[in-house]
Amino acid sequence: MKFALLFIVSVTATAYAAEPIIVADFEGSDYRDWRATGTAFGTGPAHGKLDGQMPVEGYQGKGLVNSFLGGDNATGTLTSPSFKIERKFLTFLIGGGGWADETCVNLVVNGNVVRTATGPNTTSGGSERLEPGAWDVSEYAGREAMFVIVDQRQGGWGHINVDQIVLTDDRGATPIVVPPVPVAKNVTRDLIIEKKLLHFPVKTGAKPRIVTVSVDGKVVRKFDIELADEDAQWWAPLDVSEWAGKKLTVIADVLPITSKALDSLQQADTLVDSGNLYQEPLRSQLHFSPKRGWTNDPNGLVLYNGEYHLFFQHNPYGWNWGNMHWGHATSRDLVHWHEHPEALYPDEQGPMFSGSAVVDWNNTSGFGKDGKPPLVLIYTAAGNPTVQSIAYSLDGRTFTKYAQNPVIKQISAGNRDPKVFWHEPTKQWVLVLYVETPGKQHTIHFFNSPNLRDWKLASVTKGGIDNDKYLFECPDFFELAVDGDVSKKKWILTAANSEYAIGTFDGVTFTPEVSRLTDVRGIGFYAAQSFSDIPNNRRIQVGWSQAPSPGMSFNQLQTLPCELTLRTTPDGVRLRREPVKELEVLREGTNQADSLANFRSELIEFRADIAPDQTTFFEFNLRGAKISYDSIKQEIAVNGHRATAPLINGKQKLAVFVDRTMLEVFASDGLTYVPMPFIPNPLDQSVLIGGNNGANVSKINLQLYKLKSSWTRN
């Protein structure tokens, strides 16, 4: 951190030097003589977004104060050393939560708070952009003061971002809050619905507005959206087909009087600007991403009516997190996906958070009809209170929410992400739920039900505490055969960060035998879930890849489907994952390894079986991604990120998939998985192999494939 030297000059209190004084710019590796309490601020400035956070923009230089460390439940304060007020104004950049006295910055003089400001956000859908702020402090000229950054808020927007604190005489010398453009409230436009979609103009990073959509006087949709007041950066579609021929009223809570946002609303039967759909520069070609908007956790993975259903957390109206819906896509082969309209919209119970889906083959729920088993979705409705609810479908396309929702009432404010399955030995449904209990204890609650509607608490498994993320949110729970032997099965309990436990389960209680294991050693893999109702005991998992696509009308993606198995290793029984065999359909032509020098491809599947000696170091360069293996350390490095990758029977078996925004690396025959966000240079489509310390390229059995886009059949 760079601090200007605060020195006293021999002038009167009302005489000021011309140059601004930087109180703090947070460019160093620590906070120096600032004093931190709690856990929210860590030991030094952040360099942009933290784990699990939306992109942070608007700060200056490389560093800023960001209290999202450990998530929105972390709290603390950060207090400057005493400094003398020697200029007329104190300016700063601020973002994050807008909670008075809880997510704020305070100017303290003689022990009293004389100025205060908060970030701009209190509801979902906001932006992490820092905006300029300023105080006139001339009345305190010559007096000692302290700048205090406060985070005492838990839950949504429970953090604060601050940068560039400056004393200045020239209020315009440093960015400050400018007088607002005159605004109008409850701006309204009426339309007669003539097309399937109503498109809203979006400018990512603009101030979010609350939009309400009504039909016949009834509110049917409500969401936050970064409306473009002038030219749209992209267009967000709202499906209005069910109200064809009716008058629809759109109301924006606040708009500048010069805004053209509502005037520019467009009706159409297809997406606006869809001519290059699925061919956009940063559209991943091997991984699923929605046509428009943000995606995160995969939800409700299930095989139903011969289709793999992928539901997912979706914000159709923004590039960032917010407005949580359940998006919906299906596939017949786990490779080519077709996106459908939203399955679940936010309602009076709140936004639609994560959950799962099952086929109720015996119609225990009573939702089935004419011999058709219902597809039942189980989800968290994250309002106040936060509860667990269900919806059902008989065609896999239209979904009806259960009239008597919720089926599980709030246990704590942090209860969410139900995973449900049928337990055949005890002939009952089991629901696995993350619950944060008082004291910030992460727990997994197990419930039983005969019918998916009536649930009873069966047992509780404890995980980590506070910043220990073990068994923190998004649980998955399933049984696998050890080494393919169906007479030897174990249960696996995993959560959002993919740490897992292996043990036994009797339908009521999970007894872990070994815990805190992981095979995921990369970056940006979160909240994975496995498919229900797949035959032949296959366990196929998909995770959320936190790989951004800057400048696009969509953001984030889902990982490749991977098949999970249990394998006995020298360290005990461990999870093994490998990309599903169905992906082989994307291979173009034959193995290209015999012409490596001439190989060029945007999409790559790279496989290598290495038999190294104890002095061997291999390095592969795939479109600029550097992947190396050190057989002495038994360690793999992916773009500098290192992970343990043991030799298996004296060999290292690698599989790598290269896409436009992501790498997926499978090492040690699937015992180590290293996913990695990565945007390659579009001009670099080469593959290079090298090594040192006696490396012998002839010891590599190489398979190299050009891949086709998975979107070619959409």
DSSP symbols for 301-314: EEEETTEEEEEEEE
CA distance 426 to 415: 26
Lowest mean pLDDT among 40-44, 185-189, 512-516, 530-534: 40-44
Beta strands 128-129; 209-215: pairing state: unpaired
In angstroms, the CA 323 to CA 124 distance is 7
Query: C-alpha angle 274/558/389, rounded to 5°?
Result: 100
Please tell me the distance from the alpha carbon of residue 623 to that of residue 14, in angstroms, as a whole number.
Answer: 61
Q: Provide the pLDDT for residue 5.
A: 30
What's the half-sphere exposure (Cβ side, CA atoms, 13 Å) at 317?
Answer: 30
Structure tokens given for 46: 């952040």
pLDDT at 692: 54
User: Of the given ranges (29-38, 491-500, 669-678), which has the lowest mean pLDDT?
Assistant: 29-38
Give pLDDT, residue 268: 97
- 439 pLDDT more than 90: no
Largest CA distance in the chain: 92
What torsion do the CA atoms of 44, 49, 51, 53 make, to the nearest 10 degrees? Answer: 130
Contacts of 220 (CB under 8 A, 6+ apart): 213, 214, 243
C-alpha count within 13 angstroms, C-beta hemisphere, residue 304: 27
Q: What mean pLDDT comes out for the span 574-580? A: 98
Residue 496, H or E segment: none
Q: Across the chain, what does the average pLDDT equal? A: 91
Spatial CB neighbours of 327, under 8 Å, sequence gap ≥ 6 = 290, 295, 311, 312, 313, 314, 316, 339, 342, 343
SS3 content of the chain, % helix, strand, coil (to 5): 5, 50, 45
Q: Is residue 713 scored above 90 in pLDDT?
A: no
High-pLDDT (> 70) share of the chain, %:
93
What is residue 698's three-state secondary structure? helix
Kindly list the strands in the beta sheet with 183-192, ordered across the sheet, starting from the edge strand earlier in the chain. 183-192, 247-256, 209-215, 218-225
Integer Cα distance of 301 and 303 in angstroms: 7
| Residue 714 pLDDT | 44
- Homologous superfamily of domain range 585-707: Exo-inulinase; domain 1 (2.60.120.560)
pLDDT at res. 691: 60
Task: Find the range with the poorest average confidence among 126-135, 288-297, 348-357, 577-586.
Answer: 126-135
Tokens read off for 26? 């947070």
Please report which confidence band the pLDDT of residue 613 belongs to, taking 50, 70 and 90 as the band edges. confident
Output the six-digit token pair for 125: 């859908």
Class of domain 293-579: mainly beta
Task: Using the predicted structure, report yes or no on whether residue 29 has a pLDDT greater than 90.
Answer: no
Residue 44: CB atoms within 10 Å: 17
480-503 pLDDT, tens digit per residue, is 999 999 999 999 999 999 999 999
Number of other CB atoms surrounding residue 20 within 10 Å = 17
Residue with tokens 């055969």: 481
Q: What is the pTM of this model?
A: 0.78
Q: What is the DSSP string of 361-413?
A: TT-TTS--BTTBPPEEEEEEE-SSS-EEEEEEESSSS--EE-TT--SB--SST
Residue 615 has pLDDT above 70, yes or no: no
pLDDT value at 509 more than 60? yes
pLDDT at 534 over 50: yes
- Per-residue pLDDT band for 26 (boundaries 50, 70, 90) equals very high
Q: What is the distance between the alpha carbons of residues 284 and 262, in angstroms, rounded to a whole number?
A: 32
Beta bridge partners of 209: 225
Whether the per-residue pLDDT at 3 is higher than 90: the answer is: no
Residues 20-41: what's their mean pLDDT?
91
Q: Give the pLDDT score at 74.
A: 86
3-state secondary structure of 242: helix
Is 468 one of the catalytic residues?
A: no
Q: How confident is the model at residue 2 (pLDDT cuts 50, 70, 90)?
A: very low
Structure tokens at 240: 């209005």
The CATH-assigned architecture of domain 183-268 is Sandwich (2.60)
* Per-residue confidence band for 690, with pLDDT thresholds at 50, 70 and 90: confident
Determine the pLDDT at residue 178.
43
> Model confidence at 16, in pLDDT bands (50, 70, 90)?
very low
CA distances from 360 to 298, 305, 532, 640 (A): 20, 12, 11, 47
pLDDT in tens, 109-152: 988 899 999 999 987 667 899 999 999 999 999 999 999 999 99
Domains 183-268 and 293-579 share a fold: no
Structure tokens at 201: 């103009």
Domain ranges, ordered by start, for the chain = 21-168, 183-268, 293-579, 585-707
Cβ neighbors of 196 (< 8 A, separation 6 or more) are: 239, 240, 241, 268, 269
Say what percent of the chain tops pLDDT 90: 80
Report the Cα–Cα distance between both ends of the chain, in Å, rounded. Answer: 51
332-354 average pLDDT score: 97
Lowest mean pLDDT among 117-126, 317-326, 643-652: 117-126
Residue 358 tokens read as 């099952």
Among residues 151, 229, 297, 533, which one is catalytic? 297
Instruction: State the CB neighbour count (10 A cutoff) for residue 107.
Output: 21
CATH of domain 21-168: 2.60.120.200
Q: How many angstroms separate the CA atoms of 460 and 462, rounded?
A: 7
